[in-house]
Amino acid sequence: MSVLIYIVSGLIISVAASVINLMFLSQFQGRKAAAIGIRDYYFTKKKSIIFILALLASGLGGFLGKCYGSGLFDVLSKILMMNVLSFLGWIDFKKEIVPNSFLKRFLIVAVIWTLIKLAADFVSGNFFAGSIASPLLGVAVMFIPMFLSYLISHGGVGAGDVKLLAIVGGVLGFRSSYLLLMTAFIVAAVFSVVQMLRKKMTMKSYMPFVPFLAIAMGLMVILGI
């Protein structure tokens, strides 16, 4: 399969993810209170630049994914999640919430995407037990530590974070989910230490986690891992 197919597919998925974000944003009932409007998301100079950067990152991710020998659906899954997590990270930063209205709708998209991926593996002859086990293990590796953190932190980790990561795990599969979670924790830890040294944060300061997931996912896509 040519590099061009990977690049074009990555660009298409990036645009499709933006359309999904726009559709689901209109169903986010808290967006007015969060000062988040459809015009704010798509029709400002700043957002246009971010959209273009997302396209460039998606195209680069497709190119590098092919160069490193990754499967097309694995690469596209990462690009899809990079775009969606960037959007949710923006909402989490502004509103400190991962809206259930978005998660319910995106769960349907995630299930359909996973079924298409499994069907593609079956048609191509690459279907085996691990094809089904990978998304299930992905859900487990994301859900279990976040759910335990939710129980221990007494509100420090939100229920929306737990549900989001379970969905992300199903889309990405075991290996990519594990790498994403570890990378996000490292990025968050480095950021926290820097902010505490600058006396901008304390150990008790609230810090939304989804923006770090978005950064980690972007790094994985750009680096082709």
Question: Is the CB of residue 83 less than 8 Å from the CB of residue 17?
Answer: yes
pLDDT, residue 14, reads: 83
pLDDT, residue 137, reads: 84
pLDDT tens per residue across span 90-104: 878 877 778 787 888
Q: How many other β-carbons are positioned within 10 Å of the β-carbon of residue 214?
A: 24
Positive or negative: CA dihedral 187, 188, 189, 192: positive
Q: Write out residues in the chain with pLDDT < 70, as ranges.
A: 1, 24-47, 124-131, 153-157, 203-205
DSSP line for 129-156: HHHHHHHHHHHHHHHHHHHHHHHHHTSS
- Spatial neighbors of 39 by CB under 8 A, at least 6 apart, are none
pLDDT, residue 32, reads: 56
pTM of the model: 0.81
Question: Is the CB of residue 221 less than 8 Å from the CB of residue 57?
Answer: yes
pLDDT tens per residue across span 64-85: 777 777 778 888 888 888 888 8
Q: Is 8 helix (H, G, I), strand (E, B) or coil?
A: helix
